[in-house]
Structure formats: C-alpha cells, structure tokens
C-alpha cells in the first residue's frame, strides 16, 4: 500500500519541490495551503504523515498539531514540523503539542526525505 | 586627670575645618576641569558614612556601656537596607535624576501631583524631627570640648554667655562652610561635588580616629581583645552586657523594631537621601556601596565594645559618662595627642552630619516652604520681576544659617535634657514616617495625594504624642502625670501605653502606632477617592520609571506656551544665559513658530524643579501656559498609548526574528530545488525549467526584500533620496491604475477611479508617491474576493491639502490588527499572495507620506471592506515654516 503524506505549507515555491521529491520517493502527496485546509485534507485522505509548517494563515502549525492530537483517530499519524525559526522554544512547543520530529528551514531535501522515511518506518 | 588647653583644641578644630574647606575647594576645582573625584564608587560609599554621626562616635560606646550588644541593631538595619538598595535606592535615584528631584519633600510632593501642601507637610516633619538632631551634634562638640579642657568635677557644659560659647562659632563656621560648598551657585541638579568629597574625607577621618582609639584601648590599656573579654566575664556587673537578653527576657520586638527603624533611616534621613540619591552621579555606584557601606559600618563598630568595657573596667560604672570614653580613656592615661585625634574624629562625625543635614533641610525649607509662599505674595512678584537667581541664592543661604541657628538655639535651651539626649532614635522615628508615602509612591500606582496626606498627618501626630511629648515630660518640661495617668486622667490615652497597649518599650510602642496609622491611613484614604489626572500621571511616571526610560517619555501636558514667555520664566530662576542655552538646544518641531511644544514646556518645568522644587515649578510654568486641565480620562488614554508604545517596542524586538523568517523562507525553496537538480542529472528539462523558475522568483523576492529593508533604513535614518517636483495627482493616480490593471484583471477584480475635474499640482516626490499608490492598490487586490472584487481609488482636495482613498470590498481588517499592520514584517491574512509581500510596504508608505507632512491611516469595519487613505498638505512639512513667513510678509 502506498503511504500517504499531506504537505501543509503556504509557500507554493516550497511546496512544489517538496511534492516532487516525496512523489519521487513513491509517496502519495496531498497539498494544503493553510492550517484549516490541512485539517480537512487529513480527515479526508487519512495520511500516515503530515509535513506541517509552523507559520501558516488561518490556523498555525501549533494549532493544527493540537487539534490532531486531540482526536484519537489520528493516534498513528506522524507529524513532522517545518519551522523557519530555529528558536528552541518553538521546537519545544511543537514537540510538547505532539509533533514527532521537526526540521529547521532551510533544510536539505535529502535530510527531509531521510526524516520522513525514518518516521514512517517506525510506524510500520 | 590631664586636660588640654582650650585654645589648642579650638585651633585644632578650626584647622580641621580649614583642611575640609581645602579638600572641598580642590574637588570643586577638579570637577570644573572635568576630572571629578566623586565619579568613583568608593567616594560614594564613604559619603554614605555620614550616617555615622557624633551619636555613633560617642554614643555607641555609651549605649554599649549601658546595654551591651544593643548598640548593634542601629548598624544591622543599614546592612539589611543596603541589600535592598539596588532595587529601591536605584529606583529613587532614577526617578530623582529624571525629574530633577532634590529632596524627600520634593520627591513626595512630586509623586502625588506636585502638591505644594504635601511638600510643606514633609518639610515641617523634617524640621521638627531633624533640627534637634543637629542640636545633638553641636552638644557633642561642646561636650567633647568641655571634657578635654575642664578638669573632672567642674561643670560639664560651658556656663558662659552665648557669645563666649565656642560652639556658636563652630556652628557659624559650619554654616559658612555649608554656604560656600552647598549654596555657592544655583545648580538645578543640586549637586555639590566639593561637599561630597569633604564628607567622604570626614568618613575616613572618623573611622581612622575611632580605630586608633579602639586599638589603643584594646592593645595599649589591655592585653588585647581576649584579655578584655576574660575580664568582662569575670566582672559580675558586666557579664550580662554580652548577652542579648541582658539578664531578663530578650526583647526581640524591640530588637527588630530597632533594626527596621534604622533600615528606614538609612534611606529616609534627609542627609542619607541627599548623599545616596541626590548627590549620586552613577547608579552603578550603588552596587559597590551595597557591600562596602555595611563593611564600613562593621569597621567603625569593631572597637565599640572594647572601648565601652575598657572604660567600665578602668573607671568603674557610673563615675564617668560612657559617651565620653573615647576621649576620657586616652586623656586619663596621659595621651593628650591621642585624645585630640579622638576629638577631631568626633568632630568629623558631627560636622559631616551637620553640613549635609543642613543642606538637605535648608533646600526643603527654601523650595517647599518659602518659595511657594513667596511666589504667591504679589509684592514679591513685583519686586522680583527681573532675574531671581540672586534672590533665590540669598534665600537658600538664609535658610542654611536659619537651620543652623535653630539647631544651636535648641542645643542652648535643651541642655542636658532627655529630649536632646535621646533625640537620635526620636529623629529616626520621625523620618520613618516618610516610608509609606515614599515606598508606596514608587511601587503602587494607586497611592494618592489624599492618602499621603492622611498617612503623614496621622503618623506625625502619633509620633508627637507617643514619642516627642513623653520626651518633653522626661525632660521635666511637662507634668509627669501626663505619662503616669494619661491626659485628664484618661488611662487609655497614656502616651506610652496608648489604648492600653503595654509590654513594649516606648520606641517600639510609638513606631507601632505611628506607622500603623500612617500606612493604614495612606492605603485607606488612597482607595477612598480616585486620583486626579495630575496625580495619576505622576504615579505612572514614578512607578514605571524603568520602562519609561526605554520608551520615549510620554508628555502629560496639554496646552500651549509661547517660547519668549518660557525663556523669560526660565531666565528668572536659572539666569538668562542658561535659559537661552536650554531653548537653543531644543529646536522646536512644531509647525507654528514661537509656540513651544509640550516637550519644551516639560523641559523648562523640570529644570525649574531642580532650582525651586517641583511644586513651585509647576505653579510658575502654569502661569505662562494656557493649560487645559488634565482629566483622568486623558491620563488613561495616554496610559493606553504608552502601553501601546511598549507593545510596539516588543515588536521591534521581533524584528530580527521576522527578518530571519523572511530570509529563510525563500532560501529554503531555493536550496530545495537546486539540490534536487544537482542530485538528479536525469531530471527532465521541463521539470528543471520549472525549478529554475522558482529559483528566479525566489531570488527576486530576496532582492525585493533587501531593497525594501534598505529603503526603510534610509528613510528612517533620514538619508532617503527625495526628488521634489510639481506633480499632477490626477495623472499620477491614472498612471497607478494602468500599472496595476493587469494585476486586477488576473484577480478578476475591478478598479474604479474617482478623480476631480481639475486640481493644482502638488510639490512632492512623484516616484515615491507612486510607490505608495502601487502598494495600497496591490494590497487591495490581495484582499478583495477572488471574483467580484471591487476597488475604488478616490481623490479629494480642500484648502488644506489632498486626500487619496483606496477602498476595497474585502473582509476588512479586524480592530486588533489595525495598528499592527503598519508594523514592519506584519502581514495580513491570505496565503496565496504571501510571496509578493515583504511586510514592509505599509510601513514604508506611511514614512513617505509623513515625510511630506501628511499622514496615512486605515478605516475599517469588519465585513465592510478596508479603506486606506492618506492626506498630503499643499505645503510639504519641510516647507511649512517658510511658507508661513511668506504669508506673514504678504500681510504686512
């Protein structure tokens, strides 16, 4: 079964390469452009992993994270936080809210793919 | 027992005073050369040593001889006080420096709405509480002199007529010294470098003298401290002195009352406030003093017990006055030189106190009692229409002599009376009454003038009733029945057992009642009535002093004043040259020439406050300013504005974080696509091209960001390039419409222009204004609905200038966002358009409009769309004043 990933980020120019490389790795990718779209997409697609940008319109990555973890249905969902600020308290907050891992922008595609694979292997 | 020749002692005393004057002169001269000697934390610390008066120098041994270790709380208190100094004293220093406060009376009056009545009240308490304390110092000088020069058994005090009394001449010499170094010129900062240096020197002298005498007693008369201690323990009469409980119960309440009292005195005695706060030149000195001043106190107390016990062992109890042990011990053992050194040490303790206390008290008397009264009398106003600086100086000098003579008079009248002997602690208790109003004033915004008045009056009245009155009774000046039976025989009103409260010593009892009534009255009365606008604004300025030094100081002043009026006013109190300098240094930002802006008015008031006290300064400035009364609502509004300012400050702190976010986002995209391309040689050409497009757009975005940041920086620093030209706004708006037409089309939105038929040209920078228009229009396209978006660009003109409005039918801007969107890097909502914005467009636009004397604002009701508008005056800001004069010229 193909594993499904939702990318939630409001920067189209970042989403394009992310989508490209994850598809190349064989994942099925869905795009969300803000926090609310992300929640809708996750409920619809039921992915194994979500790439979550922290700074998004409407609902921030933190809000989405909290909402996801509040729902028992998402227990198996892996959350990978994309944070632009390398601030320790952002990372700590994200992990406290239930994110499984984080990467700090600007990141290398290889690094990101490795992290995604690692998280999904743990899930399998 | 040996004696010294009177003339020798007097000669030594005057030689010492001359030396003091020399040091002060030297320090003043060095200060004038810019090589200040008091810009040094050690000098500051030593100057605080003025705490140790003759009462310490002679009296500590006296106290120790009668009650052993009970001399200690007076020195433990300051040690504890200094622990808190960094917090409390530093705040007082910052407040006093900022608002040119020169005395405790001024401090309290200024805090509670610059109230003249409060200033007078505090001054009254100070004079009543402190003048006897000055008398005590004079008594110590006279007593020491008598002890050195008259054989044992002869009259202890000179019975001579007052004109034969050397103490009078010492007092006058001290007054002279105080005038020369304390009131030579009128300084609005009320700082006296020479005096501070002299006091620091005195602290060294008294410490060394006391240590020398102590060492002599311990090691010369006895075989060291161990020997002394052994002998004391062997003497049944002396052994209990070494214990806290003194053979009875340990009166812990008295112990702590004394510690608490001396803690308060460390800060609120006028001389301490003068040295610690007014004369402070650098807040950081407090840090050193926090440990070095307690160390000084430790050193000066080192030999108190040895001297006391040495005296008791050698002379036997009751035969010699223990207060004189410092002098009589060396004298009795044939050491006249040492006795003279000891006397000079005591003299340094006494004179230091007298000088500083006199400066502090006379400043209060002059600024807070005489000036407000004089300024109100019409004759004085007429008399002193011109330069008042000389009159002011004469009053100040008169006050110094007056305070000194008052002290001398009390000394002559009271003599050996209990009321004088015990005045040290009584004075402490008087100034302790300032604590609630002072501490409440800098930590509690709710404290009001009424509260301070009620508290001070209640505390002062109870202090008189429970402490001063009994001291008069014990001096035999009032009937003893007052204490034993209470007034009119009412038991509950017994001054030392008020409301039947017994079991406490009289000092603790008095402190309990007076401070309870004082603090209670302060809090309750403060809560009863809302503060006036003036009080509330002062409360804010005092309590938030540290926040306020970071943010610009808000101006709590409404009204207008003419510059020549202010100049004249300032000239009268500061001298014409200084006043002119003040005005010159402060170019007016206001558009109207000759009218002072609020900041200048405030500056003049602050400078005057230094010279004549804040309450008087207030009155004087109010006289030349057409002031609108400041209502509480205004203050609340200003308060809100200042908290908004603070919020904006925090936003500035976020600048770096936002900046790094703005840089990282495009960098992330560029890095991702370039790495993908590098690692995949087989990537299809179409994919490669799409990725390269991303690199191009993101690089453009970075470039735009860099340009705008530079642009912003240039405008903010005043280095922006401006090309002013006659601009046809109708043409410019049409051009902006055409430029953005493609953008509107892409969004499926329409742009409507509403322009007047004809319009004169406006002098402005065409390109910059176009930049503003394009920014507002492109913002509008982002927020209108995807289909059916409508934007209107309107232009209106009136006599004052032109108004341009950009109205959209988008969701509008929520109220809590309206101020924020003008902040750097703050971006409004929609995701899809993010890459276009840098978050700098609106802040830059606003700066541009403001550069031409206009303003840019937003009007938006949620759901009703947003309307960004800017107004530009026909004359740009830079040309406003010249145009104004041209008009006047035309009229003439």
> What are B207-238's pLDDT values in tens digits?
999 999 999 988 888 888 888 888 888 877 77
Are B697 and A13 within 8 A, CB to CB?
yes
One domain for residues B862 and B876: yes
pLDDT, position A42 = 93
Among the partner residues A17, A34, A57, nearest to B672 by beta-carbon distance: A17
CB atoms within 10 A of CB B767: 14
Please give, rounded to a whole number of angstroms, the shortest distance from the CA of B779 to a CA of chain A: 16
Q: Token digits for B300? A: 């000066």
User: How many CA atoms lie within 13 Å of B633's alpha carbon, on the beta-carbon side?
Assistant: 0
Residues on chain B touching A58 (C-beta within 8 angstroms): 829, 831
Query: What's the confidence (pLDDT) of residue B635?
Result: 53
B764 and B686, same structural domain?
A: no
- B429 domain residue, yes or no: no
Q: Is residue B836 part of a domain?
A: yes
B838-856: per-residue pLDDT in tens? 677 888 888 888 888 888 8
| Greater pLDDT, B625 or B559 | B625
Residue B95: CATH number of its domain: 1.20.1730.10
Tell me what pLDDT residue B885 has. 34
Closest CA to B231 of B312, B304, B324: B312
Of residues B765, B766, B793, the one with CA closest to residue B779: B793
Helix, strand, coil percent content, chain B, rounded in steps of 5: 70, 5, 25
Rounded mean pLDDT of B408-437?
A: 81
Q: Are residues B187 and B273 in the same domain?
A: yes
Measure A103 CA to nearest chain B CA, in Å: 11
Residues B538, B449, B381: CA angle, nearest 5 degrees: 80
pLDDT of residue B519: 92
Task: Tell whether B691 and B742 lie within a shared domain.
Answer: no
Residues in A touching B832 (Cβ below 8 Å): 10, 12, 33
Asked if A12 is an interface residue toward chain B (Cβ–Cβ < 8 A), one would say yes
**Mean of all residue pLDDT scores within chain A:** 86
In a domain, B394, yes or no: yes
Own/partner contacts of B833-837, CB < 8 Å, gap of 24 or more, are B833/B782, B834/A10, B834/A11, B835/A11, B835/A12, B835/A13, B835/B666, B835/B697, B835/B698, B835/B701, B836/B778, B836/B782, B837/B782
In this structure, are residues B238 and B59 in contact, taking their beta carbons and an 8 Å threshold? no
Same domain, yes or no: B751 and B769: yes
Q: What secondary structure does DSSP assign to B314-347, as a single string?
A: HH-TTTS-GGGHHHHHHHHTT-HHHHHHHHHHHH
Has residue B427 been placed in a domain?
A: no
Tell whether the model's pLDDT for residue B883 goes beyond 70: no
pLDDT at A46 over 90: yes
- Within 8 A of A110 by CB-CB distance, chain B residues are 675, 679
Q: In angstroms, what is the C-alpha Rg of chain A?
A: 13
Both B47 and B114 in one domain: the answer is yes
pLDDT band at A50 (very low <50, low <70, confident <90, very high): very high
Q: Decide if pLDDT at A7 tops 90.
A: yes
Nearest to B409 by CA among B801, B664, B138: B138
Chain mean pLDDT for chain B: 79
Instruction: Assign B842 to helix, strand or coil.
Output: helix
Question: Quick one: pLDDT band at residue B637, thresholds 50, 70, 90?
Answer: low
Contacts of B675 in chain A (CB under 8 A): 108-110
Q: What is the CATH number of the domain that holds B704?
A: 1.10.287.130
pLDDT digits (tens, 9 = 90+) for B652-676: 555 666 677 778 888 989 999 999 9
Residue B714 burial (CB < 10 Å; 0-12/13-18/19+)? middle
Nearest CB neighbour to B665, from listed A84, A87, A110: A84
B382 within some domain: no
| pLDDT band with cut points at 50, 70 and 90 for residue B773 | very high
Asked if residue B848 is part of any domain, the answer here is yes
The answer to whether residues B59 and B159 belong to one domain is: yes
Same domain, B445 and B572: no
Beta bridge partners of A4: A28
Helix (H) or strand (E) holding B306: helix B304-315
B615 and B472 inside one domain? no
User: pTM value?
Assistant: 0.61
Sign of CA dihedral B195, B197, B200, B205: negative
Task: Give the tokens for residue B421.
Answer: 């002997």
Higher pLDDT, B676 or B649: B676
- Inter-chain contact B667–A108, Cβ cutoff 8 Å? no
pLDDT digits (tens, 9 = 90+) for B389-415: 777 788 888 888 988 888 888 888 876
Does B599 lie in the same domain as B705? no
Please choose, from the candidates B620, B589, B633, B571, the residue with its C-alpha nearest in 3D space to the C-alpha of residue B850. Answer: B589
Q: Which residue of B has its CA nearest to A22?
A: B676
Nearest chain B Cα distance for residue A11, angstroms: 7
**A124 exposed, middle or buried (CB, 10 Å; 0-12, 13-18, 19+)?**
exposed
Flag the least confident range among A2-6, B97-101, B121-125, B223-227: B97-101
Q: What pLDDT, in 10s, does the model give residues B503-558?
A: 777 888 888 889 999 999 999 998 888 777 777 777 877 887 776 543 344 445 55
Domain's final residue, options B717, B738, B755? B717
Contacts of B499 (CB under 8 A, 6+ apart): B492
Q: Which residues of chain B are within 8 Å of residue A87 when distances are taken between CB atoms?
A: 657
CB spacing of B660 vs A16 below 8 angstroms: no
pLDDT at A123 (0 to 100): 54
Which chain A residues are Cβ-neighbours of B834 within 8 angstroms? 10-11
Which residues does B464 contact at the CB level (< 8 Å), separation at least 6?
B128
pLDDT tens string A78-121 = 999 888 655 556 777 778 888 888 888 888 888 899 999 988 88
Contacts of A20 in chain B (CB under 8 A): 676, 687
Chain B partners of A57 at a C-beta cutoff of 8 Å? 829-831
Give me the long-range contacts of B558-561 (CB less than 8 A, separation at least 24). Answer: B558/B598, B558/B627, B558/B628, B558/B630, B558/B634, B559/B598, B559/B601, B559/B625, B559/B626, B559/B627, B559/B628, B560/B595, B560/B596, B560/B625, B560/B626, B561/B595, B561/B596, B561/B600, B561/B601, B561/B621, B561/B624, B561/B625, B561/B626
Taking an 8 Å cut-off on Cβ atoms, the answer to whether A55 and B661 are in contact is: yes
Give chain B positions within 8 Å (CB) of A106.
Answer: 664, 667-668, 670-672
B364 pLDDT higher than 70: yes
Strands B595-596 and A101-104: unpaired
In a domain? residue B20: yes
**A105, B665: Cβ pair inside 8 Å?**
yes
Residue B600 domain boundaries:
558-630
Structurally, chain B folds into a number of domains equal to 5
* Two structure tokens written together for B582: 């003040």
Of B667, B679, B832, the CB nearest to A106: B667
Instruction: Tell me if A107 and B666 make a contact (CB, 8 A cut-off).
Output: no
Interface of A with B in 70-109 (CB under 8 A): 84-85, 87, 105-109
Task: Report the gap between the CA of B684 and the closest CA in chain A (Å).
Answer: 12
At which of B526, B554, B582 does a domain end?
B554
Find the mean pLDDT for residues B74-91: 85
**Subunit contact A16:B673, Cβ cutoff 8 A:** yes
Indicate the SS3 state at residue A103: strand
Whether B687 and A110 lie within 8 Å, measured CB to CB: no
Query: Which pLDDT band, with edges at 50, 70 and 90, does B832 fall under?
Result: very low
Cα separation, B859 vs B869, in Å, equals 8
Minimal Cβ distance to A109: which of B664, B676, B694: B676
- Among residues B313, B337, B73, the alpha carbon closest in space to that of B325 is found at B313
Contact across the interface for B668 and A33, Cβ inside 8 Å: no
Rg (CA), chain B: 36
Please check whether residues B330 and B414 belong to one and the same domain: yes
Max distance between CA atoms of chain B, in angstroms, equals 120
For the stretch B151-177, what's the b/e string if a residue is b when 16 or more beta carbons lie within 10 angstroms of its beta carbon? Answer: eeeeebbbeeeeeebbbbebbebbbbb
Q: Indicate yes or no: CB of A85 within 8 angstroms of CB of B671.
A: no
Whether residue B425 lies inside any domain: the answer is: no
CATH number at residue B813: 3.30.565.10
Q: Which of A13, A56, A87 sits opposite B698 (nearest CB)?
A: A13
pLDDT in tens, B438-470: 998 888 888 888 899 999 999 999 998 888 888
| Res B621: pLDDT | 73
CB-based contacts of B324: which residues, under 8 Å, 6+ apart? B58, B143, B144, B147
Sorting pLDDT into bands at 50, 70 and 90, what band is B103? confident
Do B570 and B707 belong to one domain?
A: no
- A110 shares contact with chain B (CB less than 8 Å): yes
Q: Which of residues 30-49 of A touch B (CB under 8 A)?
A: 33-34
pLDDT score recorded for residue B829: 46
Distance from the Cα of A25 to chain B's closest Cα (Å) equals 12
- Torsion B103-B109-B115-B119 (CA) sign: negative
Q: What was the pLDDT predicted at B397?
A: 87
């Amino acid at each position: 079964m193909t594993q499904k990933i939702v990318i939630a980020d409001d920067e189209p120019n970042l989403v394009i390469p992310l989508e490209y490389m994850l598809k190349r790795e064989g994942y099925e990718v869905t795009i969300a452009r803000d926090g609310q779209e992300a929640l809708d997409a996750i409920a619809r697609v039921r992915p194994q992993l979500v790439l979550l940008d922290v700074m998004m319109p409407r609902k921030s990555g933190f809000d989405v994270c909290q909402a996801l973890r509040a729902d028992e249905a998402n227990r198996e969902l892996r959350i990978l936080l994309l944070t632009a600020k390398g601030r320790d308290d952002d990372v700590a907050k994200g992990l406290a809210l239930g994110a499984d891992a984080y990467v700090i922008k600007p990141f290398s595609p290889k690094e990101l793919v490795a992290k995604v694979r690692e998280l999904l292997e743990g899930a399998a | 027992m040996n004696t010294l020749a009177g003339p020798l002692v007097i000669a030594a005393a005057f030689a010492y005073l001359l030396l003091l004057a020399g040091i002060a002169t030297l320090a003043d001269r060095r200060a004038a050369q810019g090589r200040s000697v008091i810009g040094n934390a050690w000098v500051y610390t030593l100057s605080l040593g003025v705490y140790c008066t003759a009462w310490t120098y002679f009296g500590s041994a006296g106290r120790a001889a009668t009650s052993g270790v009970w001399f200690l709380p007076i020195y433990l208190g300051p040690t504890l006080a200094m622990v808190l100094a960094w917090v409390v004293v530093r705040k007082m220093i910052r407040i006093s420096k900022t608002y040119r406060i020169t005395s405790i009376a001024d401090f309290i009056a200024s805090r509670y709405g610059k109230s003249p009545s409060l200033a007078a009240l505090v001054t009254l308490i100070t004079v009543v509480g402190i003048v006897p304390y000055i008398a005590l110092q004079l008594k110590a000088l006279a007593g020491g002199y008598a002890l050195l020069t008259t054989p044992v058994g002869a009259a202890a005090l000179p019975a001579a007529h007052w004109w034969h009394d050397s103490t009078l001449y010492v007092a006058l010499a001290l007054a002279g010294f105080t005038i020369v170094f304390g009131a030579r010129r009128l300084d609005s900062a009320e700082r006296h470098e020479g005096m501070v240096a002299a006091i620091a020197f005195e602290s060294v002298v008294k410490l060394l003298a006391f240590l020398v005498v102590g060492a002599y007693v311990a090691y010369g008369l006895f075989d060291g401290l161990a020997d002394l201690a052994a002998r004391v323990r062997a003497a049944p009469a002396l052994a209990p002195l070494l214990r806290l409980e003194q053979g009875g119960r340990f009166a812990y309440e008295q112990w702590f009352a004394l510690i608490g009292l001396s803690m308060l005195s460390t800060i609120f005695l006028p001389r301490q406030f003068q040295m610690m706060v007014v004369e402070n030149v650098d807040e950081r000195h407090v840090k050193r003093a926090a440990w070095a001043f307690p160390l000084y106190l430790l050193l000066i107390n080192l030999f108190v017990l040895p001297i006391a016990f040495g005296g008791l062992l050698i002379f036997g109890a009751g035969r010699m006055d223990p207060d004189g042990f410092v002098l009589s011990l060396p004298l009795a053992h044939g050491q006249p030189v040492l006795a003279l050194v000891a006397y000079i040490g005591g003299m340094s303790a006494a004179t230091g106190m007298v000088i500083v206390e006199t400066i502090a008290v006379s400043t209060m008397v002059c600024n807070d009692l005489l000036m407000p009264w004089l300024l109100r009398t019409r004759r004085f106003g007429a008399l002193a229409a011109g330069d008042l600086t000389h009159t002011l100086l004469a009053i100040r000098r008169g006050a110094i002599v007056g305070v000194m003579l008052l002290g001398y008079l009390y000394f002559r009248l009271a003599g050996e009376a209990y009321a004088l002997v015990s005045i040290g602690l009584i004075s402490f208790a008087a100034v302790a009454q300032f604590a609630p109003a002072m501490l409440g004033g800098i930590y509690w915004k709710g404290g009001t003038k009424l509260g301070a008045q009620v508290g001070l009056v209640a505390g002062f009245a109870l202090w008189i009733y429970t402490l001063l009155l009994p001291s008069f009774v014990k001096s035999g000046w009032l009937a003893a029945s007052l204490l034993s039976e209470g007034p009119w025989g009412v038991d509950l009103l017994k001054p030392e057992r008020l409301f039947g409260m017994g079991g406490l010593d009289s000092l603790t009892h008095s402190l309990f009642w007076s401070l309870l009534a004082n603090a209670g009255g302060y809090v309750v009365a403060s809560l009863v009535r809302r503060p006036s606008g003036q009080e509330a604004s002062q409360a804010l300025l005092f309590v938030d002093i540290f926040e306020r030094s970071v943010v610009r100081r808000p101006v709590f002043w409404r009204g207008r004043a003419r510059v020549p009026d202010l100049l004249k006013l300032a000239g009268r109190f500061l001298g014409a040259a200084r006043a002119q300098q003040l005005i010159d240094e402060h170019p007016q930002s206001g558009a109207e020439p000759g009218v002072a802006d609020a900041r200048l008015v405030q500056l003049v008031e602050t400078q005057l406050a230094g010279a004549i006290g804040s309450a008087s300064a207030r009155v004087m400035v109010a006289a030349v300013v057409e002031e609108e009364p400041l209502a509480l609502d205004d203050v609340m509004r200003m308060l809100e504005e200042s908290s908004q300012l603070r919020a904006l400050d925090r936003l500035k702190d976020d600048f770096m974080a936002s900046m790094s976010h703005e840089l990282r986002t495009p960098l992330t995209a560029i890095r991702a696509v370039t790495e993908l391309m590098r690692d995949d040689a087989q990537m299809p050409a179409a994919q490669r091209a799409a990725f390269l497009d991303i690199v191009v757009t993101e690089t453009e975005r970075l470039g735009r960001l860099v340009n705008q940041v530079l642009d912003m920086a240039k405008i903010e620093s005043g280095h922006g390039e401006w090309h002013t030209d006659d601009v046809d706004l109708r043409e410019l708006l049409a051009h902006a419409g055409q430029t953005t037409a493609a953008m509107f089309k892409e969004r499926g939105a329409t742009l409507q222009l509403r322009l007047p038929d004809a319009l004169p040209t406006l002098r402005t920078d065409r390109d910059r204004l176009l930049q503003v228009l394009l920014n507002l229009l492109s913002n509008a396209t982002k927020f209108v609905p995807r289909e059916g978006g409508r934007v209107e660009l309107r232009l209106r003109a009136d006599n004052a200038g032109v108004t341009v409005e950009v109205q959209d039918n988008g969701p509008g801007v929520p109220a809590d966002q309206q101020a924020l969107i003008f902040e750097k890097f703050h971006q409004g909502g929609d995701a899809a358009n993010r890459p276009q914005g840098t978050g700098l467009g609106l802040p830059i636009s606003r700066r541009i409009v403001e550069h031409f004397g206009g303003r840019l604002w937003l009007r938006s009701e949620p759901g009703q769309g947003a309307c960004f508008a800017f107004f530009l005056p026909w004359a740009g800001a830079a040309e406003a004043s010249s145009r104004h004069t041209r008009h006047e010229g035309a009229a003439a």
